Amino acid sequence: MSLSDNELIIQANNGNHSAFEELIYRYDKSVLSIALNYVHDNDDAKDIYQEVFIRVYRSLKKFEMRSEFSTWLFRIATNVCLTYKSRSKKHLQLSINEEFEEDEHKKSYELISDNRDPGELATNTELGSLISDAVDSLSDKQRITFTLKHYEGYKIREIAEMLNCKEGTVKKYLFDAIRNLRKNLDSVYAAAY
Amino acid sequence: MKHNEYKKLVQLALYSELNNDEQKELENHLKSCEECRKEMEMQKNLLNVISETEKKEIDDTLLHEARVQLRGALRMESGKQTFGFQFFLNLFEFFIPPYRMAIAGVTTLLIGFFIGYIFIKPSPEIRYITKNADGTENVFSQQDVKISNISFIDSDASDGEVEFEFDAVKPMHFKGRVDDPNVQSVLTYAMLNEQNPGSRLNSINAMVSENTSSFDPEIKKALITVAITDKNPGVKREALNLLKRLPYDEDIKQAYLYVLSSDTSSALRITAIKALIETVQSGQKLSPKDLKIFKEKSKDENNNYIRYLTKTILQEHD
């Protein structure tokens, strides 16, 4: 019979490295998936993955088991994703503990110039690139929310726990993300369908 | 409920986030509202387009690479927490938080005096300490620290303050036995992550030198990863050669077979098949699955020499 997360945590905190490995291998594929679908780059995703589990390793002794380990882990993962993005932008420093304040005008949503033929754009390669750009152009919190909901399939309640905010806030990020994606991709998906 | 609110329910409905009452209410509304039905179709299309082109699945190679790199990083991390450092960490666990920082400071000071006393020379290091916004202290610069990649978070100095982040790199010098776990941690990390191929190569050679008395399983895993995934053929070949010095097992055999069947470099495929021939000659058995790979290679391989070696290994095994 396999050990529970908490039993593995106790063993890991007593210096059992195999227990720590078993614990993280239960969730590491999900963490890598979140990272990859957030940054769209294998090397960046591996960097985020590594940073997440280094933080877990350093902080495991402080984990008080009041919540599920997975909730705590994914909260770290989303935080690292947001911070990682902030670092790459070199000019933003965000914290998921802040209440949402989305400045939608700070982003450029003009991904498709008016003089391009939507039919011509709707080839697989270009479509993929446009969608990738559209998702990347979302604000950090819209993007992490959209990634967790759309690609990873988490419930809004779970995302709220990860982002440490209210469900209503998550819904707002999601609505805003979809509205912006729709605005950017309107001519593309209208042409494709 | 207002019309715009139904549009939000449409989005939530597509993600199965409505409760029964909300679902029924939306269904009733959709029966009588063409605009919302169109809205639902539009949103379905949008999400379908995004799903088809954007979802990135995790393949086993990527996960394996991430895990191997993490192991290297964790070894570095655990290396930091050994010996006296761990002792002091454990000691501090007994004290309540308000006193912890003070004790850490005093202890660090005592260690500094002790080290100064042992080596009888003053430290040339000059440290400039600043305070963060939350009042915690932060080392701003040191004499031998190289600062690069400064990026401003807040460059507006109108309030008398600016905020930025930067990379601070401090050169370290270390000399120790190659079988020292701390040395092995650094070498494993370098083997997997160092940008310079020469440094990766040197790390591999040092790690599996003649003087290495024991092999950590992590070194084997790292060598296999390098043999399979490194971008530099020279580094790959060195890793393959050094795997021969490790006790032969199923993992190593699979690494050779992977290189033989997948690598684009014929030189590496030759290295792999020669290693396999040696193991067969020393009495190791091949499974039916392995033999199938060789039989396929003996027919499909472009390189004549590899085809010849493949036939040799099949004869050796018979």
Structure-token pair, residue A48: 């985020």
Place of tokens 């290295």: B271
Of A40, A91, A189, the CB nearest to B49: A189
User: What pLDDT sits at residue B195?
Assistant: 77
Residues of B in contact with A91 (CB under 8 A): 151-153
- Angle subtended by helix axes B181-193 and B60-80, to nearest 10: 150
Q: Is the pTM of this model over 0.90?
A: no
Residue A11 backbone zone (phi > 0: left; psi -120 to 50: alpha; other: beta): alpha
Residues of B in contact with A92 (CB under 8 A): 153
Give the separation between CA A57 and CA B74, rounded to whole angstroms: 8
Kindly report, residue by residue over A102-155, the tens digit of the pLDDT: 443 333 333 333 344 444 444 555 667 777 788 888 888 999 999 999 888 899
Q: Which residue, among A33, A130, A173, would best test binding to B if mutated, counting the most B CBs under 10 Å from its CB?
A: A33
Closest among B176, A15, A18 to A3, alpha carbons compared:
A18
B contacts of A182 (beta carbons < 8 Å): 42-43, 46
DSSP state letter for B134: T
Could you tell me the two tokens for B143?
A: 């004499």
Among chain B residues, CA nearest to A170: B12
Domains in chain A, CATH or no CATH each: 5-192 (1.10.1740.10)
Q: Which of B58, B69, B163 sits opposite A29 (nearest CB)?
A: B58
Distance, in Å, from the CA atom of B290 to the CA atom of A187, rounded to the nearest integer, reads 53
d(CA B188, CA B180): 12
Is B230 exposed, middle or buried (CB count within 10 Å of its CB: 0-12, 13-18, 19+)? buried
**Structure-model confidence comparison of residues B156 and A180, the more confident one:** A180
Question: Rounded to whole angstroms, how far apart are CA atoms A164 and A187?
Answer: 35
Query: Is the CA virtual torsion B277, B279, B281, B285 positive or negative?
Result: negative
User: Is B63's CB within 8 Å of A36's CB?
Assistant: no
Q: Across the interface, do A127 and B45 touch by the CB < 8 Å criterion?
A: no
Q: Give the helix/strand (H/E) hosting A58.
A: helix A42-59
Please, which pLDDT band fits residue A100 given cuts at 50, 70 and 90?
Answer: very low
* Rounded Cα–Cα distance for residues A81 and A36 (Å): 10
Interface test with A, best of B42, B51, B62 (most A CBs within 10 A): B62
Calpha distance A184→A25 (Å, rounded): 38
**CB within 8 Å: B63 and A28:** yes
* Token digits of residue A84: 């990682």
pLDDT at B106: 64
What does pLDDT average to in each consecutive run of 10 residues of chain B (318 residues)?
A: 80 88 88 87 83 74 87 74 50 49 64 63 47 58 65 71 74 79 82 80 75 67 84 86 85 88 86 87 83 85 86 78
Own/partner contacts of A56-62, CB < 8 Å, gap of 24 or more, are: A56/A24, A57/A20, A57/B74, A57/B77, A58/B77, A60/A9, A60/A12, A60/A13, A60/A20, A61/A13
